[in-house]
Structure 1
Amino acid sequence: MLMAHPTVLRTLVERYETLRALADLRSVDTEDRSDDMVDTVGAVGPHALAGRHQGAVADGPSVLEQLRDTIYTLCVSTGTREIGPALAAAREHISRAAFTATGATEERMAA
């Protein structure tokens, strides 16, 4: 399976965490509605890939809409359908890439 570049995944994970914190601060009840509206790919319509997830957090679409778009993109990028497994897969891929990069750097230094 193709996997997004670790830098892209890192950006998406950071964006998810920021938007989730903003949603919580704004008292948006995403916890109670997570199964229906926010945390599954099926809850997000086709508009999610319109590129809005790269806009400013405070401007444009609502925080909840940006959160949905980011969740959708994370799920598609990791081949999952829910945010929990998507975050786990993204973090694993980021860790693996960092470990591989560290090992490659050490090999070059030893040569």
Structure 2
Amino acid sequence: MPRERFKTLTEQMFYILLCLHQERRGVEILEMVRTLTADRVSIGSGTLYDLLEQFTAEGMIQEVRAEGRRRSYIITEKGRQMLDREYRRIRSQAADYEHLLGKEEPL
């Protein structure tokens, strides 16, 4: 059975949506993800633009401006709900970890 599309988000998907809480162009998203994660998360430009296209088709983001090849996007209510759901899922995982292994930091 195929995986339900966008049931969970990859790390790259999560950060793209997170960055779109305000209007941004693709290059600005790439820079914001690198800055926000201190270079821990890397997104290739091909992956970024493919995901922006998929998110737009799913109604999770919308294009708000186009100036030649430069396009700006912002998250929609549907995208915000998905981002919030993923945030709650990640927090639940962390709570499970703390419940079973305590609050000590992993090595």
TM-score, normalised on structure 2? 0.39
**Structure in which a larger fraction of residues adopt helix:** 1
Using CA pairs under 8 Å that are at least 6 residues apart, name the structure with larger relative contact order, 1 or 2. Answer: 1
TM-score, normalised on structure 1? 0.38
**Structure in which a larger fraction of residues adopt strand:** 2
